[in-house]
Amino acid sequence: MKKELCLILFVMACLPIREGFSAEPAPPALVQYARQNLAQLGRSPVIVKEVSNQNSRNLNMDEVKRNDDRWRSTRGIAEFMRPLMNSQCAGYLRAIQKSKKYFMDITVVDSRGVSVAMSEKTREYWHRDREFFTQVMNGAEGSLFVGDMEFDTSLQIYMVHVGVPVYEGDRVIGAISIGIDVDQFEKTL
């Protein structure tokens, strides 16, 4: 018991701390940047077209669930994942990601939270319960979402996720998730 307690305390001491253990609000400059620069991505023709096309397909939700389970359990990139990372829209997302060091990942989903395109492989295929999706799709009008700053243990960085509504005319048809490395972003200020 004493060894376990010592191990727990040691691990906690090694964890990076940024003003406490709980999530913090995103830096105001990042919120302003999201409003002024990222919100416009939701009207990008290549993104709107891809989301609209997927929304018009009659996706079987049982198949979506199976694909999500398969996606989560597959290490690396399997052949069935490639269309989401090799489309014209995915190429556009990769170009955006490469344009700034602080963009970690960009994912586009349809009105049901199903992946449409991504800059790189994400942890899941179906994002229906992710905060960026639920906040953006909450209500018909859609709204920009800027999450709290949180430590990503897999990447060992502080991140903020921004959710952007995808619009076709005035109607919200999907969402974009943009992961931002806070430290890299702050270096640009």
Residue 140: pLDDT band (50, 70, 90) is low
Give the Cα separation of 82 and 138 in Å (integer).
30
Q: Is residue 87 part of a domain?
A: yes
In this structure, is residue 7 part of a structural domain? Answer: no
Domain-located, residue 144: yes
Q: Would residue 1 count as lying in a domain?
A: no
Q: Is residue 19 part of a domain?
A: no
Structural domain boundaries enclosing 59: 26-187
The pTM score is 0.85
Residue 33 or 1, more confident? 33
Q: How far apart are CA 60 and CA 81, in angstroms?
A: 17
Distance, in Å, from the CA atom of 80 to the CA atom of 30, rounded to the nearest integer, reads 35
Residue 50 has pLDDT above 70, yes or no: yes
| Residue 169 within a domain | yes
In a domain, 16, yes or no: no
- Domain containing 31 — which CATH number? 3.30.450.20
The answer to whether position 8 is within a domain reads: no
Q: How many domains does the chain have?
A: 1
Q: Which of these, 34, 28, 38, 26, lies nearest to 150 by C-alpha position?
A: 26
